[in-house]
Amino acid sequence: MSPSAAKNPFSIDQVVVGSSLKFCRIAEGAADVYPRLCPMFEWDIAAGHALVEAAGGVMRAPDGRQLIYGREDLRIPAFIASGDPSNPFMG
């Protein structure tokens, strides 16, 4: 959990950075959740997915299902990433 969330769990700090840095911030524990609720191509997120999971985090579809790579259109419809698998946003 980030320091600001530990102080006030209802506080939301939105940080505007590119998606690769969002994955890094999730993996290092500097951010709590990265919701992406619009489609992206799988090559845009596959490395970030690997990074988050290697750091002990989780990345899922908004309904909690595993992301599926190798679709015919190569798009991931939406995802939520968190460094904490028990995060309530993870479905």
Where in the chain does DSSP place strands (E)? 33-36, 40-41, 58-60, 75-76, 79-82
Residues 22, 79: Cα–Cα separation, whole Å: 13
Sign of the dihedral through C-alpha 55, 61, 62, 64: negative
The reported pLDDT for the residue numbered 23 is 96
pLDDT at 78: 96
Tokens encoding 90: 């993870």
* pLDDT at residue 1 greater than cutoff 70: no
Give residue 9's pLDDT. 63
Over 60: is that where the pLDDT of 32 sits?
A: yes
